[in-house]
Amino acid sequence: MAETDYDVVVVGAGAGGGTMARVLGEKGVKVALLEAGPMIDPQRDFKTNDWPHDYGHRSAEDGGKAYFGRGTDYGFFTTVSGGWQLEGEPYTSAPGTRFQWFRSRVVGGRTNHYGRMSFRFSDMDLKPYSRDGVGWDWPISYEDLAPWYDRTEEYIGVTGTVEGIRSAPDGKFHTPPEPKVHERLMRAAGKSLGVPFIANRRAVITRSINGRAACHYCGQCGRGCLTESNYSASQVDVFPAIRTGNVTLITGAMVREVEASDAGLARGVIYIDKEARTEKRVRGRAVVLAASACETARLMLNSKSRHFPNGIANGSGLVGRYLMDTVGFSVQGTLPALENMPRYDSDGFGGAHLYAPWWLWDDHSKLDFPRGYHIEMGGGFRMPGPGSFLGIARQTGYGLPLKRKVREQYGTRVGLSGRGEMVPNDQSYMDIDPDVIDRWGIPVARFHFSFSDYEWKQARHMERTFKDLIEAAGGKVHGIGNRSREGEGIAVPGSIIHEVGTARMGESASNSVLNQYCQAHEVRNLFVADGATFVSNPDKNPTLTINALSWRTAEYLAEELRKGNV
């Protein structure tokens, strides 16, 4: 079995692992960065600026797969990223559980395609139990985290405006682009109902930094950006990490377990070299797990040894527990005010230019659910693709009436999506399926999941609010925005891809897996740098906080290495 020695072994090259490898590499720490998937090559892999008519299949893919529900997840043009199902790598769900798990096996992970919403957690978000007696408090405060948000935002680049809203702390912002027409109408509708729409905070740069060009507003962030004008862990963390000369990227490395020493410390990891289908190990003074919340927990639970019969650093039994996703629900409609509107380029910076942070944070006593949500928005003149005009075609039949209706209705559709905080509960967790292994011989994750009334009631509040907003703008509500995902009244658990919480931080070893530096209570040279560390799952999309926490952990780890404590 081949062996190699490094200072630190980092598992996973996404937001958490990429940040970790870059920060450590810049400090001269020798890092092995293991990634289960391949390297990414933007020049080769990104479909930036392509049109559907560049392809005979018009982006419906060979044989029209997209029409049969068998196309690439998130569409043909989306950059290589992963999928809801990976061949030979199943996961299972307990009876009664419906859970979807999006996994990426590629350098950069899910940040290659993600929505890039970048919202800071607030002081209230980090101490939720103290406010409402539900869930748990984090072992850190907003003051602990704020400097790391500053650094992260200054490095990756995030747009926004200073607003002074307590539930949405301000940051170090790039100037955001101006609102699109439908967004202005929805902002006015929000004003009439007391819902504040403000400039969106997305990880896109509107002025050049670190050799990256400013955004050129082609609106295609999800395809990957050749000008590196948005944040993706591949281009903004991993490539610079490799350029330090201190980081060795090992692709195609599917890590099976953390290897424990006789003294109960982490010695390194054992992984399957996917190409050779051979077991290999890599050793380091410390191990950092950043494989995504559920892969990290799976890895810890599968790391059994004399010291750790229930999985490494799992004396509390909390590895895999308190799994959370974001509460999702959306409503779509059309705004007649936009019919036959003069055309303009509404691509912008690749997502909505406005969003509404949670506005009722001081009114929970009047609501029947304890936590908030923010509102995301869709609309504008979208690039046509498979099925774009299906509804209009059904409505009008065929022929000239169809053609005229398409011209009239193009760009009138708006969608509002809620992204809400789920309260952790005992019924939502993952463990290891006792009966199933994957193609690499690794026991697979099994999910158990249940939303409580808190989430269901929050979703109904979203529904009423979105209907009111669209109607206040003179619009017509069509119904649920994503029927296959939200048809039961709330997005299928896991489908928002904000799953976190499976190895949470805390002050005590009996009630948490990690300390405030994301260091395992029981194994001082084992760290976690992904969403597994989260104690709660605020309505803020998790990536920015994963970046900030990973940076904080990296600085702490580098110092502990220097002092010889690790």
CB distance 296 to 514 below 8 Å: no
Does 220 bind other proteins (CB under 8 A)? Our answer is yes
Token pair in block for residue 553: 């952990």
The size of the interface with other proteins (CB under 8 A), counted in residues, is 91
Does 239 bind other proteins (CB under 8 A)? Our answer is yes
Does 209 bind other proteins (CB under 8 A)? Our answer is no
Token pair in block for residue 525: 């040279």
Residue closer to other proteins (CB basis): 263 or 400: 400
Q: For 561, phi and psi rounded to 5 degrees? A: -65, -45
Give the sign of the dihedral formed by CA 78, CA 82, CA 87, CA 92: negative
Q: What's the min distance (Å) between Cβ of 286 and other proteins?
A: 26
Does 63 bind other proteins (CB under 8 A)? Our answer is yes
Q: What's the min distance (Å) between Cβ of 343 and other proteins?
A: 4
Coil, helix or strand at residue 326: coil
DSSP label at 122? Answer: P
Q: Are strands 327-334 and 476-480 parallel, antiparallel or unpaired?
A: antiparallel
Does 453 bind other proteins (CB under 8 A)? Our answer is no
Binding mask 348-367 for other proteins (x = CB under 8 A): xx------------------
Does 181 bind other proteins (CB under 8 A)? Our answer is yes
> Closest Cα to residue 333, out of 185, 497, 177?
185
Binding residue for other proteins, selected from 97, 208, 244, 305, defined by CB under 8 A: 208
C-beta neighbour count of 53 within 10 angstroms: 9
Token pair in block for residue 264: 């109960």
Q: Could you say which residues in the range 378-407 bind other proteins, by CB under 8 A? A: 381, 383-390, 393-394, 397-400, 402-403, 406-407
Does 95 bind other proteins (CB under 8 A)? Our answer is no
Binding residue for other proteins, selected from 4, 38, 50, 89, defined by CB under 8 A: 50
Q: Are strands 173-174 and 158-159 parallel, antiparallel or unpaired?
A: parallel
Q: Could you say which residues in the range 296-325 bind other proteins, by CB under 8 A? A: none
Give Cα 338 distance to the centre of its chain. 32
Residue closer to other proteins (CB basis): 81 or 234: 234
> Closest Cα to residue 547, out of 106, 23, 59?
23
Does 69 bind other proteins (CB under 8 A)? Our answer is no
Token pair in block for residue 429: 């967790």
Q: What's the min distance (Å) between Cβ of 273 and other proteins?
A: 22
Residue closer to other proteins (CB basis): 189 or 291: 189
CB distance 94 to 432 below 8 Å: no
Residue closer to other proteins (CB basis): 384 or 443: 384
CB distance 363 to 174 below 8 Å: no
Residue closer to other proteins (CB basis): 217 or 556: 217
Does 248 bind other proteins (CB under 8 A)? Our answer is no
Token pair in block for residue 15: 């937001």
Residue closer to other proteins (CB basis): 134 or 226: 226
CA distance 103 to 231: 19
Q: What's the min distance (Å) between Cβ of 492 and other proteins?
A: 26
C-beta neighbour count of 461 within 10 angstroms: 19
Binding residue for other proteins, selected from 54, 144, 362, 488, defined by CB under 8 A: 54
Does 173 bind other proteins (CB under 8 A)? Our answer is no
Coil, helix or strand at residue 404: helix
Q: What's the min distance (Å) between Cβ of 356 and other proteins?
A: 15
Does 26 bind other proteins (CB under 8 A)? Our answer is no
Token pair in block for residue 467: 């209907």
Distances 148 to 129, 210, 526, 548 between C-alpha atoms, Å: 23, 18, 21, 5
Q: What's the min distance (Å) between Cβ of 58 and other proteins?
A: 5
Binding residue for other proteins, selected from 30, 184, 307, 467, defined by CB under 8 A: 184
Binding residue for other proteins, selected from 343, 435, 484, 564, defined by CB under 8 A: 343
Q: What's the min distance (Å) between Cβ of 214 and other proteins?
A: 6
Q: For 486, phi and psi rounded to 5 degrees? A: -120, 15
Q: What's the min distance (Å) between Cβ of 118 and other proteins?
A: 19
